[in-house]
Structure 1
C-alpha cells in the first residue's frame, strides 16, 4: 500500500512538473506554430524537438483524412517516447474552409507547410499577404507558372516584413559542411574549376527510395505523393536540395541573379515504374486512385516521373545535379548522396557506397601528383576547420585523405529539421534573413522549374 501511494505520488509529481514546464514555456513564448495541411512527414519532423520561446500549443488546419491522422500519430509518438519526450498540444481544425479559417484566426505567427505541393505556392502567397511568416518544405514551387507567383510572394513578404524560407536540411549534413569549408581553404583547394558539360566542376547526385523507414517505422506515403501534378516531378523536387548546395558551397554568402548568372545547357526526365502491390505496401491503398490513371502503363503498373538531371552553368561554372528514385533499397543500404567539387589543386568528393558502409564520407584528393607543400597546406586548412568543428581529423588513403568525423556530428537527416528551424527562429529574432538568401532561393527555383520545361521539350522530340 505504501509502495502504491509512493508510485501515485511520483506520477502526480511528474505530471505537475510537466504541466509547470509547459506553462513556463507558454509564458515565455514569442512564437506560436501553425501547421497547414500536413501531408508530408517533414511537417512532423519540425516538431521532433521543443524550442525555447516557442509555445507548446500548435494550431493545425487541415482536411479530415489519413494525412492528418498520420501527422498527429507522429506528434503523439514524439510526445510519448521514453527519451526526451516533447509536449506539443495540437489544436486541430478540420472544416472544409481550413485555409480561410487559418488566415482569419491568425492563431500563430509561423505557418509550417509540408504537404501536397499542388496549391503550396498559392498558399504561400496568400499567407505572407496576410502578414504571417512561412517556413515551407521543399519544393515551394513545381512549375514555371508557380515560379512567377513565388517571386510575387517574396515581394509581398518583404512589404509585410515577414520571412518566407524553405527547409534546406542538407546544409546541416556534416560531410557537406566540411566540403564547403575545405573548398574555402584556397591554398589547399585552389580555385573552383570551370569544368565542361561532360566534366562539370560540381556534380551532385542523389538516390532515393519510395519504401523507407522514418523514426523507426516503415513510412506510409499518401497516394498523391506518386502524382507529379501534386508532388512535382523529381527534377523539381529533390533536386531543389542539390541546386541549393551548388550555390551554397560554390558561392557562399554571395547574391546570385538568375537573369545574369544562370545558363541552362540540358535537362532530362524519366520514370520509375511501380506495381500495384508495391503501391499498396507504401500507401495501404488497394487500387490506384482516379487521378493516377493518367500515369498507368497498364492496370497494374504506375509510371512516376520521379527522376531528373540538370546540366547548367552558374557564373560560368559547369554544374550537374541528378536525382533517381528506386522502389526499395537493397538490404543494408538506403538513400545515398554523391558529390564532387573540383578545384585546381584538390578534389573534394563525398561518397556513400558499399566501401563507406553506405554512410557519407568526405575524401580530400590532390589533383595530379601532390607537391611538397601539399600536406602542410592540408594541415593548415584542417586547423581552420577544427576551429568550427572541434575534433575533426583526416587519415591517409590510397589516393589522398578521408575526413575522420566524431560521431557527435553525425546527427542524422531527421535532426536536421530541428537545426533548420533553430536557424529560422534566429532569423525571426533578428528580423531578417541573410541578404543573399531570398535572391538565391529565387535563382534556385528558376533553375528547377526552367529545367522541367526544357526536359519536357526534350522528351517530346
Structure 2
C-alpha cells in the first residue's frame, strides 16, 4: 500500500488526549503511527485506548502503532523522522521543549493545550512560532471547544447586529463576556475510569488552573468576540486582576485516581497540614480585550455528583440580547444556549429580530429553532446530528489542522491569537502568585 502524505508521530503520550486524536481515521493520514515514549503506565494506557478503538464493533479504526520505548525517545524520534506531524499530549513541563525541538527539525506539530505553563515557556513559544514560519511548518494547539454547537451558535448570533446589537463594553464588576468551567479529577473516558499519572497533580508539571483549562476559555473569548481578527497581545490585552486557589485531594482520592497507594516524593511539598494534596487547579482572570471587559474562571473538584459531569457557563452581553450557555440540572448537565432580551427593545420588536436572525442562520445550522421558556427568554436548539461530544471534537480539530497542512497555511490571525492567549494566561499566573490566596 502506498504511504500517504501525512504520517503521525506520537511523542510521550502522557495524556489521554493523544489517543483521542486517533479515535477516528482520516483519509489523508497514513495508518502507521510511530510512537516514541518512555516505557511505563502512561504509554500502556495510550496503547490500550488505541487498541480499544481498533477493536470496537462500530466503525473500528485501523491504526498500526510502531512503538519505540526508551529514555532517549525524543532523540530517537528526531534521528529517525518517521513522519511529518508530531502529536503532543502529556507532561506540560516538557511540552515546550518537545515543541521547540520538533519545529527546529522541520516537523509540523499538533499540540494539546496548554503549550506553555509559565512566562519562561511563553518566551520560548514566541520564538518557536517565528522558527515555524522560517521552516515553513505549522504549529497548532487543540482547541476543541470551538466545535461545541452551543458555542458556535453563541458566536453566530453575536455576529447578527440587527438582533444582538453591539457587544457591551462591560466592567470588571460586570464583564461583557464571562466564561466559567468546572472540571473533575476523576472521570470516565471512552466508557472506562480515567487513570491520572501522579504528575497530573504537580502544578510544576501539569500547570496551574490559570494556565491550563483557561486556554480554552481565553481562546473562545477571542474567537467569538473578534472573529477572524488579529489580536496584538502588546496592545489589545490589559490584565485587570488574577487569583488562584487550591483543591484539596485526600490520600484516598489520590489513590483512586492514580492507582498509587503513596504520594510520590515530588508531591510532598504540596501536602497540607491535614495530609491532603493542595492542588492549585483553580483560578480567575479579569482582563480587557480591545477595550471589552472579560472574565474567565476554572474550578476543579475531585468528582462530579452522580449523573453529572464537567460543566460550562458562558454569557455574552449585547446591546439588545444576552446569549447564555448553561449546563446545570435544568439542562440535564448538557450545554444549552438561551437568548434573553436586555429590555432595550419592546417584546414584539425583540421577538421579530430573533425570528429573523434564526431564519438567517438556518441555512448553516440544520433544524435551528427557538422556543420561549419565560418572558423575553428563549431556548435555542438544533438538529441532534449537530450535537457532538467532547471526544468527537478531537477529530474535528484534527480535520481542520489537516486542511491547514494540505493548503500549506493557516488563517493569518491564528498564530498571533495563540500568542495572545498564552501571553494572557502566563501573565495572569505571574500576577496571581503575588496575591495571598484565600
Classify the TM-score, shorter chain: over 0.9
Give the unaligned 5+ runs of structure 2: none
CA distances 1:345-391 after superposition (whole Å, capped 9, x unpaired): 10000000111111111001110164232222212211222111121
TM superposition shift of 1:301: 1.0
Q: CA deviation at 1:300?
A: 3.3
Other-structure match for 1:425: 402
Answer yes or no: is 1:131 the counterpart of 2:106.
Answer: yes
Pick aligned residue for 1:340 from 307, 315, 333 = 315
Runs of 4+ in 1 over 6 A off after TM superposition: none
Q: Distance in 2 between matches of 1:460 and 1:169?
A: 31
CA contact (8 A) 1:38 1:71 kept: yes
SS of alignment partner, residue 458 of structure 1:
coil
Matched-pair contact (CA < 8 Å) for 1:169–1:416: yes
Using the alignment, how far apart are the partners of 1:427 and 1:260 within structure 2?
Answer: 28
1:406 to 2:383 alignment: yes
Q: Deviations over 1:320-363 (max 9, x none)?
A: 00000001111111000000000011000000011111111100
1:45 and 2:20 correspond? yes
Alpha-carbon RMSD across the aligned residues, in angstroms, is 1.1
| Match in the other structure for 2:182 | 207
Is the 1:28–1:53 contact (alpha carbons within 8 Å) kept by the matching residues of 2? no
The answer to which structure has the higher helix fraction is: 1
Aligned to 1:101: 76
Aligned mates of 1:42, 1:300 — CA distance in 2? 31
CA contact (8 A) 1:255 1:435 kept: yes
CA distance in 2, matches of 1:197, 1:33: 44
Match for residue 13 of structure 1?
A: none
> Partners in 1 of 2:3 and 2:372 — Cα distance?
50
Q: Which residue of 2 aligns with 1:253?
A: 228
8 Å CA contact 1:63–1:95 kept in 2: the answer is yes
Q: Distance in 1 between matches of 2:31 and 2:421?
A: 33
Of the three residues 358, 363, 379, the one matched with 1:382 is: 358
Q: Paired residue for 2:34, among 32, 39, 59?
A: 59
1:233 to 194, 208, 213: 208
Residues 130-149 of structure 1, C-alpha deviations (whole Å, 9 max, x = no match): 00000000000000000000
> Equivalent residue of 1:387, what SS?
coil
Is 2:263 the partner of 1:280? no
How far apart, in 2, do the equivalents of 1:349 and 1:460 lie? 30
Alignment equivalent of 2:425, drawn from 436, 440, 448:
448
SS in 2 for 1:368: coil
Which residue of structure 2 aligns with residue 5 of structure 1?
A: none
| Cα distance in 2 for residues equivalent to 1:158 and 1:306 | 34
Deviations 1:37-81 (A, max 9, x none): 000000000000000011100000000011000000000000001
Partner Cα distance (1:110, 1:384) in 2: 39
Q: Deviations over 1:9-39 (max 9, x none)?
A: xxxxxxxxxxxxxx4xxx2611000000000
Is the alpha carbon distance of 1:460 and 1:345 closer, same or farther for their aligned partners in structure 2, counting shifts above 3 Å? closer
Q: Give CA-to-partner distance per residue, 1:161-191, whole Å, 9 cap, x none.
A: 0000000000000000000000000000000
Match for residue 146 of structure 1?
A: 121
* Contact 2:146–2:220 under 8 Å retained in 1: yes
Q: Is the 8 Å Cα contact of residues 203 and 319 (structure 1) preserved in structure 2?
A: yes
Aligned to 2:372: 396
Query: Matched residues in 2 for 1:218 and 1:383: separation?
Result: 43
Q: Secondary structure at the match of 2:285?
A: strand
Aligned residues: 436
In 2: Cα distance, 1:442 partner to 1:459 partner: 28
